[in-house]
Amino acid sequence: MCGIIGYVGERPVSDVLLKGLKRLEYRGYDSSGVAMFHGGKIEVHKAAGKITEIEPLLADRKQKGLEGGIGHTRWATHGAPNTKNAHPHKVGDIVLVHNGIIENYREIQKLVHSKGLTPKSETDSELFAFLVHFEMTEEKCSFVEAVRKSFLKITGASSVVAMHEQHPGLIVGVRNGSPLVAAWNPELGAMLASDAQPLLDYANTVHYLENGDMIVCERNKIEFIDAHSGLKISRPGVKIDWSADRLDKNGYPHYMLKEIHEQSRTILDTLNANFAASGAHLPFDFAPHPGIDNLSRTDRLSIVACGTSWHASLLGKYWLEKFAGLSVEAELASEFRYRSPVLKKNQVLMGVSQSGETADTLAVIQDVNKREIPTMCITNVKGSTIARESKSALYTYAGPEIGVASTKAFTGQMLMLLLLAGKLGRDVAVNDSTGKAMGEIERTYRELFEVPHHLSNALMEGSPTAKAVKAAALATQNSKGFFFIGRGYSFPIALEGALKLKEIAYVHAEGYAAGELKHGPIAMLEPDFTVIVLAPHDMWYEKTVSNLQEVKARGARIIAIGHADDKQIPQMCDHFIPMPIKTKKDDGTPTMSEALNPFLLAPILQLFSYEIATMKGTDVDQPRNLAKSVTVE
């Protein structure tokens, strides 16, 4: 969850570390720190709070980074988020930053105490520095060897990056579980970080460390070592196709708002990338892909994911069942991994993960790999651990998502699952003598290319949709609580809408299948309560309207989202948010397949949460207690 960075090279070390830490801040942001050489000694600067807190401490430290420096932005696991527990930690000559959890920390703590020593912090991380210190002082190991031997003594998923006061110009990293990525180029020198984003400012080819790898970084080279054998290994470079300019806000006040608006483009990017690769002779064509081949051969798929990615997976279930007749379960990875799931040999297991690093999703994939069931994943990050551990990977083209609350990555996941459903469904429908199923698939495919246009119309400042979102947010911002309800494709979107509001506005919100309301939650309704009803004109419309009436009868405030030409719902609710499409085109044909409604509803709800959060003045991009990449259980 934490972000770690190390640099040795020509550029001013404090600039590189601070810029890199800002890129990594989405991973955790309760405290931060850097360590760098100054006057032949390693100085450590740290502070509780965000990176901006340590910036002034480095104002007069602008020397070249030839002696190296390391930095850290923290998401607390062991010990409160304060300056004492902030990284880097220094023990003797050793300074280090750590990401992950050392599970056998008690054992190491006892060892440290038995030698009459007391750690300065409450962290498990500092204990690793003691281990290295003991290896060097008692076993007379070299620094690199001491890091290696210490690493073999810890358990749990961790990455560590360390420096030594007597070895300027040398940075050592080790990885087990928590990601670590390196880059080197002649002008830059060597750099390593928890993910590729800070490296993109300097290089577009990066090297991912595998579990059990060590890296030794110097100004003129990087070397990889197998931590178990101590032997040199090679880790080939991976070209990253994101450019650093996609990491900036481009004039938007928040990354989240920028990313909400980017969705029209990212949907098109994902469509184009897939169909360009395939040549798109038929609707929903994909380039040959081993994962899709496996799906074509099975009638059963288990999807595992967490949080927002689970909501996308749930929606995938609806599409894959309907279009492709596939039996699909969409499960929370954290539950799935500790159950006794019954998996069939000929089925497929898919992980869905924006970051490609989520611990629970990764663990399921690793377990299922051992059972010889084909695994695959949908992820946004090439080279991520989940992408590499899965037997095959499909990528979304959302680009880097910096706002901690997921927006464009979510629509990217939805799209990829719909594309899969369309492709598998088409292959079945081609043999359907009625041609009915094929007709629906062809229509959905055609209309899919119109979604980015509708979405831009919805989100554009001053559009009827955007204005209605703002007005509804203004009127309901102080509600006692929010329910989001929907049926069919709108149910996972209701769950996601509620999660977004909780995450960024810290407001109590729950998502329900609209039919579930009367089975308990309806007791909560009173005039101070707001219910957001997702009511597009789809096959569930009449039933949703009945649920809306039940809510109205209990006096709760109602925001309804529906087609722009809906005559019924605007009369029944307090605030109506029109989707930028009508139920029918002027020639009487339906405007948009109902399977595509989530692509408009989800961004509208993202915008709603954003409006409420900004009205409340919360930290939209880095909400409290959260981190983007959840690499611990």
Residue 358 in the binding site for ligand F6R (CB under 6 A): yes
Residue 630 in the binding site for ligand F6R (CB under 6 A): yes
Q: 209 vs 504, which CB is nearer to ligand F6R?
A: 504
Residue 257 in the binding site for ligand F6R (CB under 6 A): no
The piece of 32-40, 100-108, 350-358, 478-486 that touches ligand F6R (CB under 6 A) is 350-358
At residue 67, the 3 state secondary structure works out as strand
CB of 410: closest distance to ligand F6R in angstroms? Answer: 7
CB of 380: closest distance to ligand F6R in angstroms? Answer: 8
Q: 216 vs 418, which CB is nearer to ligand F6R?
A: 418
Q: Which of 95, 209, 320, 405 binds ligand F6R (CB under 6 A)?
A: 405
Residue 622 in the binding site for ligand F6R (CB under 6 A): no
Residue 132 CA to residue 174 CA, distance in Å, equals 13
Preceding peptide of 88 cis, ω within 30°? yes
CB of 186: closest distance to ligand F6R in angstroms? Answer: 34
* Residue 170 neighbours by CB under 8 Å, 6+ apart: 8, 68, 143, 144, 163, 164, 216, 217, 218
Residue 354 in the binding site for ligand F6R (CB under 6 A): yes
The site for ligand F6R, by CB under 6 A, has a size of: 13
CB of 267: closest distance to ligand F6R in angstroms? Answer: 18
Residue 209 CA to residue 173 CA, distance in Å, equals 9
CB distance 417 to 609 below 8 Å: no
- The dihedral sign for the CA sequence 190, 194, 198, 202: positive
> Which one, of 608, 373, 596, 382, lies nearest residue 489 by Cα?
596
User: Which among 90, 149, 258, 628 is annotated as catalytic?
Assistant: 628
> Which one, of 180, 358, 376, lies nearest residue 295 by Cα?
376
Q: 351 vs 486, which CB is nearer to ligand F6R?
A: 351
Q: 285 vs 329, which CB is nearer to ligand F6R?
A: 329
Residue 577 CA to residue 611 CA, distance in Å, equals 14
Residue whose CB is nearest to ligand F6R in the complex, by number: 307
Residue 320 CA to residue 284 CA, distance in Å, equals 13
The verdict on whether 628 is a catalytic residue reads yes
Q: 30 vs 135, which CB is nearer to ligand F6R?
A: 30
The piece of 12-20, 239-247, 349-357, 515-523 that touches ligand F6R (CB under 6 A) is 349-357
The site string for ligand F6R over 498-537 (x = CB under 6 A, - otherwise) reads: -----x----------------------------------
At residue 114, the 3 state secondary structure works out as helix
Q: Which residue intervals of 8-64 are DSSP H helices?
A: 13-24
User: Which among 2, 217, 306, 377 is annotated as catalytic?
Assistant: 2
The verdict on whether 391 is a catalytic residue reads no
Q: What's the distance, CA 438 to chain centroid?
A: 34
Q: 29 vs 128, which CB is nearer to ligand F6R?
A: 29
Q: 468 vs 605, which CB is nearer to ligand F6R?
A: 605
Backbone dihedral angles phi then psi of residue 20, each to the nearest 5 degrees: -65, -40
> Which one, of 493, 492, 486, 438, lies nearest residue 323 by Cα?
438
The site string for ligand F6R over 299-338 (x = CB under 6 A, - otherwise) reads: -------xxxx-----------------------------
Q: 176 vs 308, which CB is nearer to ligand F6R?
A: 308
At residue 120, the 3 state secondary structure works out as coil
CB of 255: closest distance to ligand F6R in angstroms? Answer: 13
Q: 377 vs 525, which CB is nearer to ligand F6R?
A: 377
Q: What is the DSSP letter of 595?
A: G
CB of 508: closest distance to ligand F6R in angstroms? Answer: 17
**Type and span of the H or E element at 329:** strand 327-332
CB of 497: closest distance to ligand F6R in angstroms? Answer: 11
**Type and span of the H or E element at 175:** strand 171-176
CB of 179: closest distance to ligand F6R in angstroms? Answer: 12
User: What SS3 string covers 221-269?
Assistant: EEEEEECCCCCEECCCCEECCCCHHHHCCCCCCCHHHHHHHCHHHHHHH
Q: Which of 125, 302, 385, 406 binds ligand F6R (CB under 6 A)?
A: 406
CB distance 618 to 434 below 8 Å: no
CB of 626: closest distance to ligand F6R in angstroms? Answer: 8
Q: Which of 264, 313, 347, 355 binds ligand F6R (CB under 6 A)?
A: 355
> Which one, of 22, 167, 192, 201, lies nearest residue 95 by Cα?
167
List residues binding ligand F6R (CB under 6 A).
306-309, 353-355, 358, 361, 405-406, 503, 630
Annotated catalytic residues are 2, 628
